[in-house]
Chains A and B, each alone.
Chain A
Amino acid sequence: MRGWFKLWMMLPLCIAVLAAGQIWLSHLRYEMSLETQRLVAKQKDIQRESSKLRLEAASLTRPERLRQYANSKLGMAPPKPMQVVHL
């Protein structure tokens, strides 16, 4: 009789432990979801940044700008065809 009683007492305890585990797991999922959201936002930021940098690089290296820079800052001029030798 006493043994049966002890066994019945274990049941609420097990339920309590399982419930606590469930809460902990759902908390973990929630935290993970927040982390995922943060990482997705970061990924999007990096993609946005990379796209901007790609455009910036294209803008900075546009032939007309390089030509002007070489001409005005470095005193360079386009080579004459005779000055270009292909090896």
Chain B
Amino acid sequence: MNRNEQIYVRRRIEAVAGLLLLGLLLLAVRAVDLQWLQADVLSAKAEKQRYREYTIMAPRGPILDSQGRTLAESVEIPSIAAIADEVPVERVGALAKALGLSASKLKRKLRKRKGFVWLARQVPPSVAEKVMALNIPGIRREQEWRRYQPLGPETGHLLGFVGIDGRGLEGVERTWNDTLTGKPGLRQVRRDARGHSLPDSGWIRPPVPGKAMTLTLDASIQSLAYAALAEGVREQRAKGGSVVVMRPKDGAILAMVNWPGYNPNNYRHFHPGEWRNRAITDVFEPGSTMKPFTVAAALESGRWQPDSRVFCENGSMRVADYTIHDDHKAGWLDITGILVHSSNIGAAKLAMDIGPEALYDTLSRAGFGSRSGTGLSGESHGIVLPPDRWGPVETANIAFGQGIAVTPLQLAAAFSVLANAGEHVAPVLFADQLGKQPPERVMKAKIARQVVRMMEYATSKDGTGWKAVPAGYSVAGKTGTAQKPNSRGGYSKGKYNAVFAGLVPADDPQLAIVVVVDEPKKSIYGGQVAAPIFRHIAESVLPYLGVSARIENDEPEWKTLEVADVASLAAAESVNGMSMREVRRFAASRGLRLRVHGSGWVIRQKPASTNGLEHGDMLEVWLNE
């Protein structure tokens, strides 16, 4: 190798070494850049790749009735979503078929945006499984909560419903949305390369389910009231109706129903007008059901006594330029007679004598003209004009329930005042609110009792409300028939509200029930239309509540009662299904010693058969309600 060649080789080695050095230098620079300058950003990126955060939706709290029965509950069901730009166009047809949608509609949804898009929300699990089995890129199964109300239309108006995003849109669900809504949780998961969670996953913020709410409502009473109202409305070919059942003692609302109902599980299929809880949102002129309060105001004024007599003008009386008529023409009537014969003229005379202020005072303290305090959204105040706007005609009209508008709930609460010996107990919808508000005195206890006794006469055979009385019970109630106002400020011809409001049993009222039937066709009278619905509800609910019918000796139904042939208790091999009383009788008849656990009905016994038991042996039973 000559010198030139040596120099050439050397230069080449130097060049390669130089390149290597340069490479090393660049690597060092890059290493410094990565490990030092970009360290924080890159570490954060790596952590982000390794850790993933998921939002976990919390369920809405259930709504329960006073017996703990489920009225509304959320269940987790699947929804199908997509990352729109990842879904292959050629698979859209198969996807549409599995989802039961048209391909064009699905394409429109996918074209809406590039990222996340909902394809079908809250679908049956079988549909979701079918879709996921197609294994289409970009298609995701998400879990969502869906609200169900097992009683459907029976509780629909009161409970309302929940939208697809879990927000309460009507009724209890809307008003107490914040309490019922759960707080979503945030979970951090460390994943391996295959996407499996690694051990140090944990909650950043655990989900908090919504609070359960227990209502004062009783599902059985609600259902009975709904069925009775539906039957009555159908029979009268009426437009609709409402019923409120209250327990006067503590103001508990036991039932609140409207007909026609709507199914809250499928609310979109109904017109928004049908979603309204008309028992609190809609007002009506109460008609003669206002008369007990006029009478109470008159008695409270001290100017009138129960045995005072009023001349009822033989059915027609002129007040200013307006003539008041009575359906049952009468001359002299005592105060009880005014209620029994439902005399408009008698009530008007009482009101005009005591003056607007005294009547207004009684009405407003009984709760008319102000919200009842349940807190339900959309509740109406009702319409009670201030007394300075009452002329003689207004005073006379309001005395018999015209020119005043109330809600069925207000009327039930006002009748509860009479049941509670003159004390107003605000209606309560939530079990935890019972007994929280102190009662307010509206009238003297003596006067309230006198009015209740008078109303009892109004449901006697001579009164207008006799059809409201179930066999074995006494009812203190009042019928009402009111013409419906029209849009021109007058009264519409042939359109009436038939009303019955009452307390039962009259001597110790356990229930205040208000029935309003809107535009009945067969008859217009409260005593013919609403009173039978009242009776139907009362005769079903009172035995259920443990209020026994009073059995009179001359009661024909009692005489014809059939008694089932019951096998002798002592011959039974098993005591399963027996009540506490029956099992005690059984043990006594066989001379057995008895040990009882629980209450209700026998669900287990020891020994399993009573055949081998001798006198003095031990029988142990477990009862469960």
Contacts and interface: CB of A to CB of B under 8 A. Distances in A.
Interface string A47-87: 01001101101110111100100000000001111111111
B472 A82 contact: yes
B70 interface: yes
B57 to A, nearest CB: 12
A34 B196 CA distance: 8
B300 interface: no
Contacts of A87: 581
B470 interface: yes
B314 to A, nearest CB: 40
Given A33-B196, A33-B199, A78-B540, A54 B70 contact: yes
B489 to A, nearest CB: 41
Contacts of A36: 199
Contacts of B543: 79, 81, 84, 86
A85 B542 CA distance: 12
B471 A82 contact: yes
A20 interface: no
Contact of B561 (A33, A58, A83): A83
A57 B219 CA distance: 14
B198 A55 contact: no
Contact of A48 (B75, B201, B473, B551): B75
Given A29-B199, A62-B151, A86-B546, A80 B539 contact: yes
B71 to A, nearest CB: 8
Contacts of B201: 33
Given A58-B150, A80-B557, A67 B227 contact: yes
Nearest to A29: B199
Interface string B517-552: 000000000000000000000011011001011010
A81 B226 contact: no
B70 A82 contact: no
A34 B579 CA distance: 51
A43 interface: no
A67 to B, nearest CB: 7
Given A55-B75, A87-B581, A63 B539 contact: no
B555 interface: yes
B555 to A, nearest CB: 7
Contacts of A33: 196-199, 201
Nearest to A63: B223
Contacts of B267: none
Contacts of B73: 51, 54-55, 58
A3 B561 CA distance: 109
Size bracket of the A interface? 20 to 34
Contacts of A48: 75-76
Nearest to B220: A63
A30 B76 CA distance: 29
B224 interface: yes
B154 interface: yes
Contacts of B205: none
Contacts of B542: 81
B197 A52 contact: no
B226 to A, nearest CB: 7
A55 B150 contact: yes
Interface in B139-191: 148, 150-151, 154
A36 B196 CA distance: 11
A37 interface: yes
A81 B539 contact: yes
A32 interface: yes
Nearest to A45: B76
Contact of A51 (B75, B197, B199, B470): B75
Contacts of B551: 82
Interface in B187-227: 192, 196-199, 201, 219-220, 223-224, 226-227
Contacts of B303: none
B69 interface: yes
Nearest to A64: B223
A85 B56 CA distance: 53
Nearest to A44: B76
A82 B226 contact: no
Given A81-B549, A82-B557, A64 B226 contact: yes
Contacts of B332: none
Interface in A18-52: 29-30, 32-34, 36-37, 48, 51-52
Nearest to A85: B548
A34 B470 CA distance: 66
A59 B227 contact: no
B558 interface: yes
A37 B196 contact: yes
B581 A81 contact: no
A59 to B, nearest CB: 4
Contacts of A62: 150-151, 154, 219, 223
Contact of B150 (A59, A67, A82): A59
Interface string B118-131: 00000000000000
- Looking at A34, A62, A81, the one whose CB has the most chain B CB atoms below 10 A away is A81
A41 B278 CA distance: 44
Highest count of chain B CB atoms <10 Å: which of A36, A51, A87: A51
A67 B196 contact: no
Contacts of B471: 80-82
A64 B549 contact: no
B446 to A, nearest CB: 30
12 contacts: A29-B198, A30-B199, A33-B197, A51-B73, A58-B71, A62-B223, A67-B227, A78-B540, A81-B542, A82-B557, A86-B543, A86-B546
Interface of A: 29-30, 32-34, 36-37, 48, 51-52, 54-55, 57-59, 61-64, 67, 78-87
Given A48-B75, A64-B226, A64-B227, 18 more contacts: A30-B196, A32-B199, A37-B197, A51-B75, A54-B70, A55-B148, A55-B150, A58-B70, A58-B73, A64-B154, A64-B223, A80-B471, A81-B543, A81-B548, A81-B549, A82-B472, A84-B543, A86-B543
**A-B pairs with the 9 shortest C-beta distances?**
A63-B223, A81-B549, A84-B543, A58-B150, A58-B70, A59-B150, A33-B199, A81-B472, A29-B199
